[in-house]
Chain A
Amino acid sequence: MKKKILKILESLEKLDRRIIFIFIVGAIALPLIFPLNIDFSVTPPVQSFYDEIQSLPEGSKVLLACDYDPGSMPELWPMNLAVVRQLCQKNLKVISIQLWATGSPLAEAAFNQVAVSEFNKKYGVDFVNLGFKEGREIVMVSLGESIPITFPTDYHGNRVEDLPIMKDVKNYKDLDIIINISGGLPGTKEWILQVVSRFHIKLVSGCTAVSAPEFYPYLQSGQLVGLLGGMKGAAEYEKLVGETGLGRRGMDSQSVSHIVVFLFILIGNIAYFSTRKKKKR
């Protein structure tokens, strides 16, 4: 009997990765089909993100930098939609730019899906998409001098200076906050280093879960005033905004898949410790 158990544990230690893959597929797909609806509370960084935007008076001008690509969409797209939704609910004026070429169509789609379809907001009056500009940190600094010179035309080819929303908007001094949806580099870190400390403007960020720990020092120092980390951050934010979006729907899958990964780690260690003595012999 003991030998049999030891043999099972030995085979578990060398478990084929394809079996792990099957379990992960199940852990992700099944909760999407049969939701568990596990409730969760809102963490302080997400609450600060929401409160900062909520505290802005109606008509305030916001710079929304959508610096991400389709690769990080599962985490950042729900944030982008929820951010646009809160900005529209608050009747804030949104000026969007992208430092990632792949971010432009995504930002455009988010505006069309929420600002235009749900809130009937007018392009050029309530929001504008200035599009992509290569130059990373140089573009960030350049916006501090002049937004219309850095972006002479918008994503649709209109002259930026002719748009009603851009009236009286010259540089960061005319904006109230920067919201950065960040998939990597250039992203939140560069906005903090180049813009926050230099032009003294508030910044909130939504980033992937893997890069969130990197921004905690900035959050504590006050250089970042709110943070949405990964899909969980998006889900908490959706809860505050009052919607059941992709972030909240993905939470059950994430919960179950994390439990599955934990169980695999546990099984791997039990197998490792049980077979270690035999290996030593």
Chain B
Amino acid sequence: MRREVPIVICFLAGFFFISDFFIPEPHWTQIAHRVNQWAIIVIAFAYVLGVGNIVRVNSQVIKRKERDWGYKILLLSGLVLMIILGIGFGIKEGTTFNWIFMNAMYPMQATMFSLLAFYIASAAFRAFRIRTWEAALLGVTAVLVMIGRVPVGEFLWRPFPDFIEWIMNVPQLAAKRAIMIGAALGAISTGLKVLVGLERTYMGGE
């Protein structure tokens, strides 16, 4: 029973949502919508679980004074502070919650993302070595797209953007579509295996 019941639930739930996609029957759709609302509520509860988990894991590290325990204090303080400010005083513009978001979270996240420019430049210098024909093809295409996608490409050669659009619309798209169709077929087959109970790793074991 411990195996059969989850498989039956999984099959019924999966079948229900697939059929909702293909059967535009109002009553059926309404039931599906009600279940969707339940799912949104369950997901909201998962947040509470997530917060509980963060508190549990990090307070253990602080208690044992393990590596980087100081940062964990900062993490938990930030968590508690933002929860109090958000729930207690609101999240709209003009609130402290929003001020912290715009003046701490925003610049920090933007900084992290900006660092990518430097790492990509350094990685491109080291990685784009034309050692083989395949590497040459990759390197030349990458350089063409890189230059053609910015205004200086058009400044150097007027039809450059059209040529880049052709690369994006023909060779790039063909490869991308092939990968997408392959991945979709794989997802369908895995989904069906889960639904009919052939794939049971989600229950643990096997």
Chain A residues positioned under 8 Å from B110 (CB to CB): 70-71, 73-74
Query: Are B117 and A28 in contact (CB-based, < 8 A)?
Result: yes
Contact A255/B102 with A71-B113, A135-B40 known, Cβ cut-off 8 Å:
no
| Residue in A closest to B17 when the chains form the complex, CB atoms | A141
* Chain A CB within 8 A of B152 CB: yes
State the main secondary structure of chain A at its contact with B: helix
Query: Are A73 and B106 in contact (CB-based, < 8 A)?
Result: yes
Q: What distance in Å separates the Cβ of A40 from its nearest Cβ neighbour in chain B?
A: 4
Query: Are A216 and B176 in contact (CB-based, < 8 A)?
Result: yes
* Chain B CB within 8 A of A44 CB: yes
| Residue in B closest to A255 when the chains form the complex, CB atoms | B152
Q: Mark A85-128, 1 if CB is under 8 A from B, else 0.
A: 00000000000000000101100110010000000000000000
The residue in A20, A109, A133 that gathers the most chain B C-beta atoms within 10 A of its C-beta is A20
Interface residues of A in 123-159 (CB under 8 A from B): 133-135, 138-139, 141-142, 145-146, 149-150, 155-156
Chain A residues positioned under 8 Å from B199 (CB to CB): none
The CA-CA distance from A86 to B37 in the complex, in Å, is 34
* Chain B CB within 8 A of A54 CB: no
Chain A residues positioned under 8 Å from B43 (CB to CB): 134-135, 138
Contact pick for B125, options A20, A149, A150, A254, CB 8 Å: A20
Query: Are B92 and A108 in contact (CB-based, < 8 A)?
Result: yes
* Chain B CB within 8 A of A55 CB: no
Interface residues of B in 1-49 (CB under 8 A from A): 21, 29-30, 33, 36-37, 39-40, 43-44, 47
Chain A residues positioned under 8 Å from B128 (CB to CB): 265, 268-269
Query: Are B177 and A264 in contact (CB-based, < 8 A)?
Result: no
Of the listed stretches B51-59, B69-77, B167-175, name the one at the interface; the rest are far from the partner chain: B167-175
Q: What distance in Å separates the Cβ of B191 from its nearest Cβ neighbour in chain A?
A: 14
Query: Are A213 and B121 in contact (CB-based, < 8 A)?
Result: no
| Selected A-B contacts with CB under 8 Å, 8 pairs | A17-B125, A38-B155, A69-B109, A105-B91, A155-B92, A213-B176, A217-B173, A251-B151
**B contact set with A: CB distance below 8 Å:** 21, 29-30, 33, 36-37, 39-40, 43-44, 47, 91-93, 98, 101-102, 105-107, 109-110, 112-114, 117-118, 120-122, 124-126, 128-130, 139, 143, 146-147, 149-152, 154-155, 161, 165, 168-169, 172-173, 176-177, 180
